[in-house]
Chain A
Amino acid sequence: MNEKAKIRLIIEVKKSLKEIMDDFSDVPEEMGYFYERFRAFFEETPNNGKKVIATMCIHVPVELIYAVGAIPLRVCSGARSMAEIGEEFFPAKACPLIKSTFGALYLNIFPMAAAPAMIINPTTCDHKKKIGEMAEDIDSCFYTLELPPTKETEEARFYWHMVVKKLAKELERVTGQRLTRKKLKAAIGIVSLAQAQLRRLYNIRKGNPVIWGNNAILVANAYFFDDIANWTDRLSRLNDELEDRARRNQYVVGQEAPRILLAGSPSIFPNMTLPVMIEQMGGIVVAEEFCSSSRSLYDMVAVDEWSLYDMIPAIADRYLKPGICPCFTPNIDRKRRLLNIAGDFCIDGVIYNSFAGCQLYQMESRHVEKILEQNGIPMLYLETDYTSDNTGQLTTRLQAFMELLQDQKS
Chain B
Amino acid sequence: MKKIRAFINNSNISKFRFYFQIAAFVLFVYGGYFYVTISEKLPTFACPFNKGSGGTCYLMPLQHQLHMTWSRFIGPGGIHLLKGFLVFACFGLVFSKAWCGYLCPLGTIQDWITKLRKVLHIRFSKYGETTFKGLKKIKYILLFLLIIIPLGVSNSLLWLPKFSHDIFPPFCKICPGRIVLPLFTGDTSQIYIDFSTKTAMTMTALGMIVTGIFFTGSFFKKRFFCLFCPMSALLYIFSKVAILRLNKNVAKCTRCGNCYRVCDVGIKEIADDVINKNIVKDDCMLCLKCVEACPEEGCLEVSFFNIPVFMSTETGFFKRYCLRNEIK
- Interface residues, chain A, with chain B CB atoms under 8 Å away: 152, 154, 185-186, 188-190, 192-193, 195-196, 199, 203, 229, 298-305, 307, 309-310, 314, 317-318, 321-322, 333, 336-337, 339-340, 343
Contact = CB atoms under 8 A, between A and B. Distances in A.
A33 B318 CA distance: 26
B13 to A, nearest CB: 14
SS class of chain A's interface: helix, strand, loop or mixed? Answer: helix
B323 A300 contact: no
B124 to A, nearest CB: 7
Interface in B134-183: none
B6 to A, nearest CB: 15
A321 B118 contact: no
A305 B325 contact: no
Contact of A307 (B123, B271, B272): B123
A314 B251 contact: no
A322 B254 CA distance: 6
Nearest to A186: B327
B325 A196 contact: no
A192 B322 contact: yes
A314 B271 CA distance: 14
Give the interface size class of chain B: 20 to 34
A154 B261 contact: no
Interface string B311-323: 0001001100111
27 contacts: A154-B128, A154-B129, A186-B325, A188-B325, A189-B322, A189-B326, A192-B322, A193-B322, A193-B326, A196-B322, A196-B323, A300-B256, A300-B295, A300-B317, A302-B258, A302-B261, A302-B317, A302-B321, A303-B321, A309-B123, A317-B256, A317-B258, A336-B251, A336-B253, A339-B251, A340-B251, A340-B254
A299 B256 contact: yes
A193 B327 CA distance: 10
Contacts of B323: 189, 192-193, 196
Given A193-B323, A309-B123, A302 B293 contact: yes
B254 to A, nearest CB: 5
Contacts of A322: 254-257
Given A300-B258, A302-B261, A321 B271 contact: yes
B255 A304 contact: no
Nearest to B253: A336
A48 B318 CA distance: 30
Contacts of A185: 325
Contact of B325 (A189, A304, A318, A337): A189
